[in-house]
Amino acid sequence: MGKRKAPADEDTPNHDFCEFLLELAEYEKNVSRNIHKYNAYRKAASVLSALPTRITSGSQAKKLNGIGEKIAKKIDEFLATGKLQKLENIQNDSKNAAINLLTRVSGIGPAKAQSLVNEGITTLEQLDKHKDKLNHHQIIGLKYFDDFEKKIPRQEITEIETVIQKHLRQLDPDIQITICGSYRRGKDESGDIDALITHPSYLRKKNKNTLKNVVGALQKCGLITETLSLGDTKFMGACKLEEGSVTRRLDIRLTPYDQFFCAVLYFTGSDMFNKEMRAHALEAGFTLNEYSLRPVGSTGVPGEPVEIHSERDIFDFIGYPFKTPEERSR
């Protein structure tokens, strides 16, 4: 998942509402650190962006699922004045701006940003002088701050995918790779690259070396340039297609073969779609996560994972109309 969620599509009729709602959402997440308000704003924005017609009043918006009294009022205010006082205040507060800026560094979250700002560090230049306060991940994040902010064109991801696939095939022809995230949802550009790999022989029994071997091979060929973290199942780092091109954030996850499709579904997103899908699964008597789909027993205890052979199987089990990755953006 990228650092910043894609802003609302410009061509939807309500995109200006979405924009200020998403900005408020960021504020709630980064500064007040209230994840529920963040979720509420994001849900409202998601509902509005899906609407084919322009909203003309707060009361009209209130009828939508996910928009209540307060957001309706904000829409009214925005319609009347063209701006939002709350947002103005937030934007004018230098502390908030600094926190928002620092959270854009990969590896710095709201809490770290807040503590840095409290220590008087408000700009990237200052941060550069106080590297002792940062961990390895954050230092790399700062080093490639500009690169990581840049969107990755679809074409480039395709090329990177080809390179990875070529090397994986040399390593072990049975390894499968899927690039998830917004790339899989057909977006023209993405914030980072989210790759999932699996191997038919990898079924619960762990082989700690698989991921390390993969990363090792990609390092050798020069694709992976930085490692933020590397465990048995998850690699976080950065890659560069060729000398002189922009450094990109790359995550690689190794999933057991029997969990692969749940993982692909989860990491393809979008996160709003995942939420909806999980809610639907619960209604249908199942619990869904990135590992498995399990029926929920009469006392609420999840049952044994059901066998899944494709993404479509998951939709099938919970009776949700199948959506292609492109249809899951919302």
Supply the DSSP symbol for 253: E
> 52, 125, 298, 321: which one contacts other proteins (CB under 8 A)?
298
Q: Quick check: 294 binds other proteins (CB under 8 A)?
A: yes
Residue 89 as a binder of other proteins (CB under 8 A): the answer is: no
186 is a site residue for other proteins (CB under 8 A): no
Q: CA-CA distance, 91 to 295, in Å (whole number)? A: 47
Choosing from 88, 93, 174, 316, the residue that interacts with other proteins (CB under 8 A) is 316
Residue 154 half-sphere exposure, CB side, CA atoms within 13 Å?
Answer: 8
Is residue 79 a contact point for other proteins (CB under 8 A)? Answer: no
What are 177's two structure tokens? Answer: 């790779």
Chain residues 188-227 in contact with other proteins, contact rule CB under 8 A: 205-209, 213, 216
- Residue (2 or 285) nearer to other proteins, CB: 285
Does residue 261 contact residue 313 with C-beta atoms inside 8 Å? Answer: yes
Minimum CB separation of residue 309 from other proteins in Å reads 10
Residue 229 sits in the site that holds other proteins (CB under 8 A): no
Token output for 121 = 């560090």
Chosen residue from 53, 65, 92, 299 binding other proteins by CB under 8 A: 299
Provide, rounded to whole angstroms, the least separation between the CB of residue 311 and other proteins.
14
Least distance to other proteins from the beta carbon of 228, Å? 19
CB of 300 to other proteins, least distance (A): 9
- Angle among Cα 255, 260, 261 to the nearest 5 degrees reads 155
Q: Which is nearer to other proteins, 92 or 298 (CB)?
A: 298
Peptide bond before residue 270 is cis, with ω within 30 degrees of 0: yes
Rounded to an integer, what distance in angstroms lies between the CA atom of residue 263 and that of residue 265?
5
User: Which one, 136 or 206, has the nearer CB to other proteins?
Assistant: 206
Give the footprint of other proteins on residues 258-287 (CB under 8 A). 284-285
Phi and psi torsions of 3, nearest 5°: -70, -45
What is the rounded distance in angstroms from the CA atom of residue 228 to the CA atom of residue 10?
34
Residue 284 CB, nearest approach to other proteins (Å): 7
CB 102 within 8 A of CB 121: yes
Whole-Å CA distances, 297 to 282, 287, 289, 305, 306: 11, 10, 16, 12, 13
Question: Token match 């900005």: residue?
Answer: 23
Q: Measured between alpha carbons, how far is 56 from 219 in angstroms, rounded to an integer?
A: 54
256 forms part of the interface with other proteins (CB under 8 A): no
* Residue 65 sits in the site that holds other proteins (CB under 8 A): no
Among 66, 109, 256, 295, binds other proteins (CB under 8 A): 295
Q: Which residues are catalytic?
A: 74
- The CA–CA distances, whole Å, from 70 to 24, 51, 76 equal 13, 19, 10
Structure tokens given for 286: 């199942």
174 binds other proteins (CB under 8 A): no
Q: Minimal distance in Å, beta carbon 52 to other proteins?
A: 33
> Is 173 one of the binding residues for other proteins (CB under 8 A)?
no
Binding site for other proteins (CB under 8 A): 205-209, 213, 216, 284-285, 294-299, 301-304, 306-307, 316-317, 319
